[in-house]
Structure 1
Amino acid sequence: MIHQKILLCMGTRPEIIKMAPIYHELKACNIETLLLHTGQHQDMADPMYGFFKIVPDFSLHLPRTSDKLFHLSALLLEQIGRALLEIQPTVVLVHGDTSSAAMAALAAFYQQIPVGHVEAGLRSHQDYDPFPEEKNREMIGRLARWHFAPTEQAKHNLMLENIPESRIHKVGNTIVDAVRLSDTQFKESVEQGSELEHGALKTLAAQSLNRRLILVTAHRRENLGAPLLSIAASVRELLQSEEDIVVVWPVHSNPKVRDTVHEVLKDLAPQHAKRLYLTKPLSYPSLVKLLKQAWLVLTDSGGIQEESACMQLPVMILRETTERPELIESGGGILIGTEQEVIVNQVRRLLHDSSAHSAMCGAKNPFGDGFAAARIRDILALNKHA
């Protein structure tokens, strides 16, 4: 029998949210489970680890001197490779499509350590949309031994790439597990950790009374520049023309995002500005609570699409392509792009057609039942007998 030492590699906020359920499942079964924090977004990562009651065993320091992807990838490959030499895991788990996930999978392959890929098989079938995520996840697909696909479509995508079916496991999406844990095991933390009653959002409850709350997020690399200008202009137009909406936009810390959003939305008339909340990125407890109160989500974020589906909350996807067609097919999401006229018209359609909004609320969540992590645990547990 092989003694298992499973190393989870993660560092971005979405990775932590989606890997936390797996971490706790493995720990609960007394499987030696270690966590390598890959060093990005430290200001957002620390609160996430705290919320999920996780303490990384190892952390990378990335002395970045450039925002170029080749610079980041080189740092990650070097430092993760050295960490694997020290830790000597028997399995490495990575999530999704970040550059850190791709470099961790490559570093593990170089040392002949088997890789498990969580949320495997998502594809937009567009090389540069999203960029670099589409090629990152394709590369991980060539390196992984276990492909933990969240949906039937994701499994189908992998099979089209000649991944052996025996290596593909349709388990569901661990985001559903994370939302379930937020309602059960970590419910008290959600209630205590919310920012909705103070600070920038202290007047939200009063402004939202008898109004419909719209949550907006936009940060993807492919939406920087003109697309983001258009999204922000759409929000401005809606606030000026629709008196019964309130908009909360947690603005990404990237200066290219922050400066654009604030520039477009400055100088609103007071009667419109009071219904707009531009905040710093929210804590996970606050985001979960806000999603439960929202009427509609406009986003380019994959994770927020999935969280919204868990709460039967309609989503308008601010992208030209998607790797999550299941949400659109279920009726819970609409792919609308970033053109101002389209965004405004689609939001107004729901505002003035309650049956259309109700139909989206009634869509079945296509991402699973909230027990994906347990299935991943069981599959990996079989490996110790290999």
Structure 2
Amino acid sequence: MIPYAERTRVLVVIGTRPEAIKMIPVVRALQDSGTFRPVVIATGQHTDLVDDLIRKAGLRVDASLHASQPVDGVKPSLNEMVARIIVGIDRVWSSESVPEEYRADGRREVGGAVACLVHGDTSSAAAAAIASFNLRIPVVHVEAGLRTSDLLSPFPEEGNRQLISRIAALHLAPTTTNKMNLVREGVDYDRILVTGNTSIDMLQWVATQEGGFGPGLEELETDPRPRIVLVTAHRRENWGEGLENIAAAVRELAERYPETRFVVPMHPNPVARRSFIEALEGMPNALLVEPRDYADFARLMGAARIIITDSGGVQEEAPALGTPVLVARETTEREEGVHAGTLVLVGTDPTRIVQEAVKLLDDDDEHARRAAKLNPYGDGRASERIVQALENILRDGPVPEELNGGGLRNAVRRRFGLDIAETHV
């Protein structure tokens, strides 16, 4: 095993809580590889939630960019946040050690990293990809190839992930469908590896941890068979009428099923919270609670009869726990779940949401049929495949079992016009 200080450094940029959930297994796999040294940069988009999650996973943040920190009480705009991340990564990379204002409690060394891993479709991921590209650091896109092909749905995520795809050297796609999305857009077939989704890796780890549902839900923990409908909604394109319609549907269901508990962990953003507070406050079986710790939320997903959500991650994770999902969005980039029958796309029409929820609440046979559907998003080995690919490309390691030859390694090197392994290791 290579001494830790001599291992190959890899930047891992994390912005939001969902990104942290999906990147923690990758960071852990890099750390356990014996060859790589992950350097974790937190952009500061969800500072407290991300720091708490990483700490509980036994990992550390090396630099924090504070990109969402208010100035004189005013939160930065989306463009200001993106600019702060680009400038922050530039300063971190250009310094011999992490500048004082960005320092966290972990390691300080950043220089010499051979790649930058970004995840998914957040603005922080897009900003990190642009910054890394400008610094000629190869970009590795985890959870690549998700598409709705509508730049405004979801906004700004669809634009972000398409932008990252133009920049990335290596694309780590959760499914074959995601890979073919990229191929149709002109990405080299050999630069795309299907890995499964790292969210399933994280979910399997959390399943081994004991605990409850978190503050405010203690009554459910003492009920041997609580009947729970879990509701999460916050996406920007649903702000206003969309969230109001979802909240109205939940209220109608709560009135129709007084013995069922409707648990609504509310997003920190006041715009996303307002509709649910106005529609559900005072309803005895509607439990409006603060955001859950990830492990608590995972246990809630497993205990729920159904989930109504506009979240992306929940669409992947809940089917692994046997919980049917109603997707309260007009489009989804996770069509595999729709085709597999683990998801039903219901939009934000209250009538449609109620109709589909009633089917699953009233019909045990239909619920059992849907709960038994095979999750298309992976087997819990995505992080392992990612590290194998990086070892092959960056350290001349063995070819991953999913590949038949050296096409991936050679194609990624050609993308940057250099021999990455010999230049950086």
User: TM-score scaled to structure 1, two decimals?
Assistant: 0.92
Q: Tell me the residue number matched to 2:405.
A: none
The 2-side partners of 1:221 and 1:40 are apart by: 15
Q: Is 2:326 the counterpart of 1:311?
A: no
- How far apart, CA to CA, are the structure 2 residues paired with 1:380 and 1:340? 46
Pairing partner for 2:39 from 19, 34, 38: 34
Distance verdict in 2 for CA 1:178–1:267, change over 3 Å: closer
User: Pairwise mapping of residues 1-386 of structure 1 onto structure 2 (< 5 A)?
Assistant: 4-30=8-34, 31-62=36-67, 63-64=69-70, 65-86=74-95, 87-88=110-111, 89-184=113-208, 187=209, 191-192=210-211, 194-196=212-214, 199-205=215-221, 212-268=227-283, 273=284, 275-382=285-392, 383-385=394-396, 386=421
Partners of 2:224 and 2:153 in 1: how far apart?
A: 39
Given residue 38 of structure 2, which amino acid in structure 1 is its aligned partner?
Answer: T
- Distance, in Å, in 2 between the alignment partners of 1:336 and 1:195 is 27
Taking the aligned partners of 1:211 and 1:82, their CA distance within structure 2 comes to 51
Query: Secondary structure, in 3 states, of the residue corresponding to 1:323?
Result: coil
Q: Runs of 5+ in structure 1 lacking a partner?
A: none
CA RMSD of aligned residues (A): 1.6
Alignment check: 8 A CA contact 1:119 1:150 kept: yes
Distance 1:19 1:267, change over 3 A: closer
Q: What amino acid maps onto 1:71 in structure 2?
A: E
The number of residues matched between the two structures is 371
Kindly state the Cα deviation for residue 52 of structure 1 after the two structures are TM-superposed.
1.2
Report if aligned partners of 1:210, 1:244 keep a CA contact under 8 Å in 2. Answer: no
Q: Percent identity of the aligned residues? A: 39
CA deviation profile, 1:257-293 (whole Å, cap 9, x unmatched): 222211111243xxxx1x2211000001111111121
Residues 125-155 of structure 1, C-alpha deviation per residue, up to 9 Å, x if partnerless?
Answer: 1110010000100010011111000001100
Q: What SS does the corresponding residue of 1:73 show, helix, strand or coil? A: helix
- Whether contact under 8 Å (2:213, 2:299) holds in the other structure is no
1:158 and 1:85 map into 2 onto residues whose CA distance is 32
Cα separation, 2, equivalents of 1:106 and 1:59: 18
Secondary structure of the structure 1 residue equivalent to 2:216: helix
DSSP-derived class of the 2:186 partner: coil
Q: Aligned pair in 2 of structure 1 residues 27, 333: CA closer, same or farther (>3 Å)?
A: same
Please state whether the residue corresponding to 2:127 is helix, strand or coil.
helix
Q: Distance in 2 between matches of 1:55 and 1:29?
A: 17
* Structure of greater relative contact order (alpha carbons < 8 Å, 6+ residues apart): 1
Q: Secondary structure at the match of 1:200?
A: coil
CA contact (8 A) 2:318 2:324 kept: yes
The answer as to whether partners of 2:306 and 2:360 remain within 8 angstroms in 1 is no
Moved over 3 A (4+): 63-67, 208-211
**1:352: how far off?**
2.2
Amino acid in the other structure paired with 2:260:
I
